Amino acid sequence: MTRSCVQPQLNYIESGLDFYDIGSSPQMKFDVGIAGGIDHEHFEECESTQKFSYENWQNFTKDKLKVVSADFQTSGIGKGNRSWTSIRGKGVLVTYTFHFPDKCDKEFCNKNVQNTSHVLALSAMQALQAALTSIDAKPELRLKWPNDILVNNHKMGGILAKAEPGEGGRVDTIIIGIGLNINTSKDELTAAIGERIVWPASSLLAECGTGVSDFNVPQIRDMMTVGFFTICKCFAIKGSRLFLGPLINCRL
């Protein structure tokens, strides 16, 4: 992946948009009752972060980005009728619930809600690239349209999104989950999901070769969350036109 894929995201931070109060610093702590615009709920184990969010999103505070994460899922949800299998503590498992601000009209929401997954994809790419900063032989990160994240042409992650309509047909809520294999070995993946001929599964660590220490999974998750939150503030005003170009540069 080239630097140009993620650099535009960094420019969004200076937009100064104030739909949400991000607090004194975007690098806020994620484990001590977050103030500002993010509400993070973490489970050591749950059935599914996506299922929890589907069942509870109407109770979430609308003016905050709701983050539900877990170290392990007993029944992770994948695309279609598939499941998402992960190894305890070795991957990012998180679901975000994002509400467009009230000042966004129906036309804007309905046009842009489908692109929220693109915002999350770019946020994930940025966090993964940051995690690879100290790695000499960096693996190649790419997006496979529409919802897969690849490392060296192996699938390491996927995104699953569901839109919820509000009043008057205004589709203003998106529940969007992401799973990323970070420290899982190829043997563990094969034992969990079997061999895949097309886009075989792998992880960030497995594609870095020997001699690389485990990555900090919570740090990657939190960096992605800050990035997603920051870009969403811009996205909620200007829509997707600012980042579709960089997105195309990252995809197969």
Tell me the domains of the chain and their CATH numbers. Answer: 34-250 (3.30.930.10)
Q: Which residue's entry shows tokens 């915002």?
A: 119
Question: Quick one: pLDDT at residue 47?
Answer: 93
Question: Quick one: pLDDT at residue 45?
Answer: 94
Give yes or no for a contact between 84 and 72, defined as CB atoms under 8 angstroms apart: no
Q: Mind listing the pLDDT tens digit of every residue in the chain (252 residues)? A: 333 344 333 333 333 333 333 333 333 333 323 334 899 999 999 999 999 999 999 999 888 999 999 999 997 776 666 767 788 999 999 999 999 888 888 998 898 888 888 889 989 999 999 999 988 889 999 988 778 999 999 999 999 999 998 888 899 899 999 999 999 988 888 777 666 656 788 999 999 988 899 999 999 999 999 999 988 877 877 777 666 666 666 665
Residue 85 burial (CB count, 10 A): 20
Question: Quick one: pLDDT at residue 187?
Answer: 85
Burial of 233 (C-beta count, 10 Å sphere; 0-12/13-18/19+): buried
The phi, psi pair for 188, rounded to 5°, reads -65, -40
Question: Quick one: pLDDT at residue 188?
Answer: 87
Question: Quick one: pLDDT at residue 49?
Answer: 95
Q: How many residues does the chain have?
A: 252
| DSSP β-ladder status, 91-99 and 148-151 | unpaired
The phi, psi pair for 228, rounded to 5°, reads -60, -45
Which residues fall within 8 angstroms of residue 85, CB to CB, at 6 or more apart? 76, 192, 193
Question: Quick one: pLDDT at residue 242?
Answer: 65
pLDDT tens-digit series, residues 20-51: 333 333 333 333 233 348 999 999 999 999 99
Question: Quick one: pLDDT at residue 80?
Answer: 63
Strand order across the 38-43 sheet: 38-43, 65-70, 91-99, 171-181, 154-165, 148-151, 141-144
Residue 109 burial (CB count, 10 A): 23
Give yes or no for a contact between 46 and 70, defined as CB atoms under 8 angstroms apart: yes
| DSSP β-ladder status, 171-181 and 154-165 | antiparallel
